[in-house]
């Protein structure tokens, strides 16, 4: 594996981890905002009270699913790019007769 392929794999893994963390954070934060809105409505007498587990447990599960989904998409795209670079690396240039790197 040449250094370009290793670099692409490493960047893909780091990008997938970053995407997972951002998506998971945003979806969990949306669940927290929903909980606050429901509690405010309950205090105002518009809706019944809810527990934090009733709102946040599904939000956390949803955030994990969404985070895994989108980070998997990023990882697969990055690994496909690395595979394409690896395949291209074995070809020779018609002009110079050298390997493309």
Contacts of 52 (CB under 8 A, 6+ apart): 35
pLDDT in tens, 54-91: 999 999 999 999 999 999 999 999 999 999 988 887 55
The percentage of residues in the chain with a pLDDT greater than 70, rounded to a whole number, is 87
The pair of structure tokens assigned to 59 is: 């939000």
Give the pTM: 0.78
How far is the C-alpha of 51 from the C-alpha of 31, rounded, in Å?
12
List the beta strands (DSSP E) in the chain: none
How far is the C-alpha of 6 from the C-alpha of 19, rounded, in Å?
20
Of 44-48, 67-71, 94-98, which gets the smallest average pLDDT? 94-98
pLDDT of residue 35: 96
pLDDT at 1 over 50: yes
């Amino acid at each position: 594996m040449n250094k370009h392929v290793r670099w692409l794999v490493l960047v893909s893994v780091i990008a997938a981890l970053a995407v997972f963390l951002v998506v998971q954070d945003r979806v969990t934060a949306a669940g927290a905002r929903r909980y606050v809105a429901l509690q405010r409505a309950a205090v105002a007498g518009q809706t019944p009270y809810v527990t934090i587990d009733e709102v946040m447990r599904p939000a956390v599960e949803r955030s994990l699913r969404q985070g895994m989904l989108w980070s998997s998409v990023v990882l697969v795209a990055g690994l496909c790019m690395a595979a394409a670079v690896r395949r291209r690396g074995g070809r020779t240039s018609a002009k110079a007769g050298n390997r493309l790197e």
